[in-house]
Amino acid sequence: MTQQIITRGKEIAGWLRQRITPAFLVALFLSFIFWYSGKLSYTYTAEVPFSVVVEGERHRVTCVVEGTGHNIISARYFKRKKVKLRRTDLDMRPVEGVSNTYQVTSESLQNAIAVRNANLKIISVSTMPYINLED
């Protein structure tokens, strides 16, 4: 029984070798590239991590963004994702009980990141850790 399966497998492999030429493989590869490129023009929603620097302190923030596949892949893998912000760009509220420590509001952080990434629609941002600032 196993000998028959092996023989049948060799027959199928030989048939495939005769039918599949290098030109067919190149055409198959190119069709995949064109298909994938076409799909990237659609609008998608994805999570993109950004590095936010406020007054020298670096924090990692994950944003849910909406945009074309090209823009999302560009933002996620190829663009420099460090967003430098000044204290005046953000709305910060003091944390009760801790001196010189502030919490950045999500709305102001979302707006500040959106201004610097015009090709993406920032839907939401994760909470940012507290910021220690000397007055």
What are the tens digits of pLDDT across the range 27-67? Answer: 999 999 999 989 999 999 999 998 888 878 888 899 999 99
Return the H-helix or E-strand segment holding 59: strand 57-68
Of residues 29 and 17, which shows the higher confidence score?
Answer: 29
Cα–Cα distance measured from residue 71 to residue 66, given in angstroms and rounded to the nearest whole number: 9
Same domain, 11 and 48: no
pLDDT band at residue 78, thresholds of 50, 70 and 90?
confident
Same domain, 48 and 102: yes
Cα–Cα distance measured from residue 133 to residue 57, given in angstroms and rounded to the nearest whole number: 9
Per this entry, what is the length of the chain? 135
Range of the domain at 32: 2-39
In this prediction the pTM is 0.71
Same domain, 58 and 90: yes
2 pLDDT more than 80:
no
Same domain, 17 and 69: no
Same domain, 33 and 99: no
Tokens found for residue 42:
């659609």
Tokens found for residue 102:
């502030």
125 close to 63: Cβ distance less than 8 angstroms: yes
132 close to 99: Cβ distance less than 8 angstroms: no
Query: How buried is 50 (Cβ within 10 angstroms: 0-12 exposed, 13-18 middle, 19+ buried)?
Result: buried
